[in-house]
Amino acid sequence: MQDQDHTPDQDEDDVIVGYLIQRETAEGDVSFWEPRNEWQEDPNEGKLYESEDEANADAKSLQDGDDAIITVEIVFEADEDEDWGDEEEEDHKA
């Protein structure tokens, strides 16, 4: 299990909304932990932990016997200035 450190360029005003457990295989496939349905490809379907300690404890138990790299990822509140809809519209026009 690897913990992700805060990046030096991380804005101190960013609000942490929770933590996700991420699993990356040797092939580069990424999935996210959801206790009822196990590993999910969509991060929105992964369990959002409120406590970093709880996420780390679950990640440690999941790492046992698993060859993949399991990490706890910080989830930040979305920036209200970013307009995701415009980007999607541009992608569809291309």
pLDDT 10s per residue in the chain (94 long)?
555 544 445 566 789 999 999 999 999 999 999 999 999 999 999 999 999 999 999 999 999 989 999 999 999 998 765 555 555 555 455 4
Q: Which domain covers residue 48, as residue numbers?
A: 2-93
pTM above 0.85, yes or no: no
Query: Per residue, what are the HEC states of the chain?
Result: CEECCCCCCCCCCCCEEEEEEEEECCCCCEEEEECCCEEECCHHHCCCECCHHHHHHHHHHHHCCCCCEEEEEEEECCCCCCCHHHHHHHHHHC
Number of domains in the chain: 1
First-last CA distance in the chain: 40
